Amino acid sequence: MSRNALKYFIVLSILSVAGIFLIQFAFLKNSIEITENEFQESANIALREVAWQILEASGQTSKFDNIDPVEKVNNHLFLVNVNDAIDPEILKTQLSEQFKRHLIKLDFEYAIFDPSKNEMVYGEYVCAHGDSCEYTPFTGFPLSTKYSQYFGVNFPNTSPYINLRLQGWYFITGLLFIVLLFFGYALWVIIRQRQLTDIQKIFINNLTHELKTPISSISLSAQVLSDEKIIQNPARLFEYVRIINEQSNRLAMNVEKVLNLTALEKNKLHLVNESIDLHPFTEKTIARFQQSKLGMQAQITMVNHARDSRIWADPFHLGNILQNILENAIKYCRNSPVIEITLLEKRKHIHLKIKDNGIGIPLDARKKIFRKFYRVPTGNIHDVKGFGLGLDYVHRIVKAHRWKIKVEGNDLGGSTFTLIIPKRR
């Protein structure tokens, strides 16, 4: 799939998912409104029946046609006009029977208007399930200026009624949500796989270049050395031997990086930890590094502020960590490389800080640089060759040791890598 086709696919997929969510949300919202209307209609009919029965008990059914019995105050509060005396006990029984008949299995409470006091007198809270339940009496029954004899009914919690009738919709919505999660995950995998494919292409191109260059140099030098006349020119002979040796080392280093990556991928990493005094160990590593071609370009200083810098670590891999960070500090520096290394002791940990004056790492890339094959984008300029494996290796070794590593900017304009290592116990 081409890059443009993938972009169109992603955009259409996101629009489709958004459309499905909006349609489902609209259906669910409409179903809730319909269910609420059904509840209010059922409550209205039940309360009309109660009003009729009250009037029928007193032989005043003729009044029913002249009154509008039920007034909805809000979605859960109703006033019922009967224009006749109301017996609280009879009212409770009739309300319970009518709500049960109309399948309204909800708690309710009622209050009756007392004309002598001109106030709503609280009646009782009736539990739909069981004889008792926890509740807080409702004190908001309103007074009516239109009615003289009436009662009010409040449903404090209508959600059980609504939820019971929307179980099917909730189930379908849940299934749709799960399906969309799987779809989103599949889309993320496709995008991630495409990114990995692009990164691997870059890696293969870099690897091909890094392997072909020393091989070509070794092959050319071998052809020159195969000429018998080369013996007559010892200086030239030694020069080509030096080239072969140098390119062989370069080739070996590249192969070692790939082999280390393969071992880490297969979880074949076996740490051989031993007690190490980090101060002299780091000094020796710096000394060896400064003897290399890259190391000779840099000015490296070290300051030790730790009284006890002994740790448990694998010396081979610890040396490789320092080597990788120092190499990057020099390769990604446009000026004369200056590197400052500091050892700090903080409670139960040793902080090893490596500060450089390189080009720095953008804030949004600092979490990505430890990913395999990742290299900080530099536009169309690729003046530094590499595979994007060095810091991935560093991160994996740090993780294997159960250490921590963080990256920050500094006042020199470059980066500061900090290894946080537990002290030896």
Residues 289 and 307 in one domain: yes
Task: For 198-229, write each residue's pLDDT tens digit.
Answer: 766 766 766 676 677 678 878 888 888 888 87
Low-confidence ranges of the chain (pLDDT < 50): 379-382
pTM above 0.85, yes or no: no
Check whether residue 413 and residue 279 sit in a common domain: yes
Residue 381: predicted pLDDT: 44
What CATH number should be reported for the domain holding residue 340?
Answer: 3.30.565.10
Of 82, 149, 138, 70, the C-alpha closest to 109 is 138
Are residue 260 and residue 297 in the same domain, yes or no?
no
- pLDDT score recorded for residue 199: 65
Counting other chains too, the contacts that 371-378 makes at CB distance below 8 Å and 24 or more residues apart are: 372/199, 372/261, 373/196, 373/199, 373/200, 373/202, 373/203, 374/199, 375/202
CATH of the domain at 182: 1.10.287.130
- Residue 145 sits in the same domain as residue 196: no
Same domain, 144 and 217: no
Q: Among the three residues 165, 181, 216, which one is the final residue of a domain in this structure?
A: 165
Under 8 Å between Cβ of 102 and 46: yes
How far from chain centre, in Å, is Cα 28?
28
Structure-token pair, residue 95:
């309300």
**Same-domain check for residues 123 and 253:** no
Does residue 307 sit in the same domain as residue 210? no
Residue range of the domain that includes 324: 274-422
Q: Do 143 and 171 fall within a single domain?
A: no
Q: Final residue of a domain: which of 145, 165, 185? A: 165
Of 265, 297, 323, the last residue of a domain is 265
Backbone region of residue 297 per phi and psi (left: phi > 0; alpha: psi in -120 to 50; beta: other values)? alpha
Residues 337 and 394 in one domain: yes
CA pair distance 181, 189, nearest whole angstrom: 12
- Report which of 287, 313, 299 is spatially closest to residue 424, judged by C-alpha positions: 313
- What was the pLDDT predicted at 382? 47
Q: Do residue 149 and residue 186 come from a single domain?
A: no
Residues 27 and 140 in one domain: yes
Count: domains in the chain: 3
CA dihedral 280, 283, 287, 293 (to 10 degrees): 140
